[in-house]
Structure 1
Amino acid sequence: MTRVALISGGTRGIGAAISKALKAAGYSVAANYAGNEQRALAFQEETGIPVFRWDVSSYEACVTGIGEVEAQIGPVEILVNNAGIVRDTMFHKMTPDDWNAVIATNLSGLFNMTHPVWPGMRERGFGRIVNISSINGQKGQMGQVNYSAAKAGDLGFTRSLALEGAAKNITVNAVCPGYTATEMVLAVPEKVMNERILPQIPVGRLGRPEEIARCVVFLVSDDAGFITGSTISANGGQYFT
């Protein structure tokens, strides 16, 4: 039976690349999205991957949405927590709403998405969870206190849950992308890109979403069954841990 993979934020950017790569690897994929319905439906039309709309910052929405996925496709055996938002600003200008929105999606979203599928994974004796963190959760970044705190929290979540899942054949790992050629990064002015971003990256280029996706495909595979609680840093040599 084909394993079911659910990707949050799975219709755009890195998430879309992950969804496509998992489908190409033979998984039955469902992609969650929160906002841009037109883009999501276009993605579904292009790829044949069914899309499901809910906000990962709401536990109740996650329970309902995951229930719909499992009713239509089957029990979720692979979960990729990719959904994330930014509310970048320097800390002295940051509002409680800026903080709370990012924490709710980028950190609490992992709990909200993982908790409903965890009992089934334990019962079946199999699960693969991959959390998409960030280089800035490892090293920090000016103007991203909220984002970096959430993404650092994702790594603590990963390591602790990995210990709980190990005896049940559930692996929990993280991927920390560096600067990757998504719409958001490519919108950076050329001067800033050439003078401030690319010089920080030893390989001299942005990552490609497909390169991040290949990390995920490996981590959810049977070949990676002995790897849990680990972090893959896919950042072109910009930061070592």
Structure 2
Amino acid sequence: MSKLAGKIAIITGGARGMGASHVRRFVKEGAKVVFTDILVEEGEALAKELGEKAKFIRQDVTKAKDWDQVVAETEKAFGPVNILVNNAGIAFHKMIEQMTEEEYRKVIDINQVSVFLGMKAVLPSMRKTENGSIVNISSINGLKGSVAAVAYSASKFAVRGMNKAAALEFAPYGIRVNSVHPGAIETPMIVQEDNKEMVEEFAKSIPMKRIAKPEEVTNMVLFLASDDSSYCTGSEFVVDGGSTTL
């Protein structure tokens, strides 16, 4: 039986990388999916590929009005929302001394504020289902610090804390809230020609000696979105090949 049969999902940052992997798998598992991104051409191409069970909407996840539109269009197209995957985010690395306030705030807005806006916007719709799941994508940088990642680490630590607070608030409505903490994942954001050698060298330091495929993170997201994780809330799920054990 399909793990997400009859479920309605919203996935942000779904046009490529991990997000696209989540979208494809959710549709395969029986969900109807609205996915969002600022990458319109890639998003529309993926929606066309997946057919009537997937709908793409351009969204700026830092804007409350965009969130309201996405939830309203999801309900109109498919019905009340069962699942939210807050996947959209950016990686940004710069030493504190060189980082500008504008750069710092941009990372916080995209990686942190968007998660707050998403959970707030989806709550009225998800209450109707009495069986909701919110999956917030954090990072291993939400569990430990890293050089030249003050903004990224701050945003991902914040997601971890917000996740726990929301889990307590939403539990009475039958809504679970969990965070996923990926390590190095083979996505366009990480694997680029100009840093290929750096990524390969970093992989040697991982206990499993490789970076992960997006599908390996999707497996965890699917578990948390489905009823298989019916007693999991406010928890952190790490997908990092053992990196945080060092």
* Band the TM-score falls in, shorter-chain normalisation: over 0.9
Is structure 2 residue 55 aligned with structure 1 residue 50?
A: yes
Question: Matches of 1:117 and 1:156 in 2, distance apart?
Answer: 19
Partner of 1:192: 198
Residue 25 of structure 1 aligns to which amino acid in structure 2? E
Is structure 2 residue 116 aligned with structure 1 residue 111?
A: yes
Question: Matches of 1:53 and 1:69 in 2, distance apart?
Answer: 13
Check whether the contact 1:133–1:154 (CA below 8 A) recurs between aligned residues. yes
Deviation at 1:220, TM superposition (A): 1.2
Check whether the contact 2:34–2:55 (CA below 8 A) recurs between aligned residues. yes
Q: 9, 18, 22: which one pairs with 1:18?
A: 22
Check whether the contact 2:18–2:215 (CA below 8 A) recurs between aligned residues. yes
Q: Call closer, same or farther: CA 1:223–1:94 in 2, change over 3 Å.
A: same
Question: Matches of 2:219 and 2:92 in 1, distance apart?
Answer: 28
Deviation at 1:87, TM superposition (A): 3.1
Deviation at 1:162, TM superposition (A): 0.7
Root-mean-square deviation (CA, aligned residues, Å) is 1.5
Deviation at 1:96, TM superposition (A): 1.2
Check whether the contact 2:80–2:128 (CA below 8 A) recurs between aligned residues. no
Question: Matches of 1:124 and 1:207 in 2, distance apart?
Answer: 34
Within a 5 Å distance, the mapping from 1:77-156 to structure 2 comes to 77-156=82-161
Normalised by the length of structure 1, the TM-score is 0.94
Deviation at 1:215, TM superposition (A): 0.3
Residue 42 of structure 2 aligns to which amino acid in structure 1? R
Residue 127 of structure 1 aligns to which amino acid in structure 2? G
Partner deviation per Cα, 1:35-63 (whole Å, 9 max, x = no partner): x2111112112222210011010112211
Q: Call closer, same or farther: CA 1:123–1:4 in 2, change over 3 Å.
A: closer
Q: 75, 78, 88: which one pairs with 2:80?
A: 75
Deviation at 1:163, TM superposition (A): 1.1
Residue 30 of structure 2 aligns to which amino acid in structure 1? G
Normalised by the length of structure 2, the TM-score is 0.92
Deviates more, 1:89-98 or 1:40-49: 40-49
| Structure 2 spans left out of the alignment, 5+ residues | none
Q: Secondary structure at the match of 1:174?
A: strand
Q: Call closer, same or farther: CA 1:168–1:203 in 2, change over 3 Å.
A: same
Question: Matches of 1:201 and 1:46 in 2, distance apart?
Answer: 35
Check whether the contact 1:8–1:82 (CA below 8 A) recurs between aligned residues. yes
Check whether the contact 2:135–2:177 (CA below 8 A) recurs between aligned residues. yes
Question: Matches of 2:189 and 2:139 in 1, distance apart?
Answer: 14
Question: Matches of 1:147 and 1:54 in 2, distance apart?
Answer: 21
Check whether the contact 2:185–2:212 (CA below 8 A) recurs between aligned residues. yes
Partner deviation per Cα, 1:108-131 (whole Å, 9 max, x = no partner): 001111111112323432210000
Partner deviation per Cα, 1:217-239 (whole Å, 9 max, x = no partner): 11111121101011110000011
Question: Matches of 1:194 and 1:5 in 2, distance apart?
Answer: 35
Check whether the contact 2:217–2:239 (CA below 8 A) recurs between aligned residues. yes
Aligned residues: 239
Partner of 1:5: 9
Partner deviation per Cα, 1:140-183 (whole Å, 9 max, x = no partner): 22111111100110000111111112222110001000000101
Check whether the contact 1:52–1:69 (CA below 8 A) recurs between aligned residues. no
Question: Matches of 2:22 and 2:43 in 1, distance apart?
Answer: 14
Question: Matches of 2:234 and 2:110 in 1, distance apart?
Answer: 21
Q: Call closer, same or farther: CA 1:118–1:240 in 2, change over 3 Å.
A: farther
Question: Matches of 2:33 and 2:69 in 1, distance apart?
Answer: 18
Partner of 2:43: 40
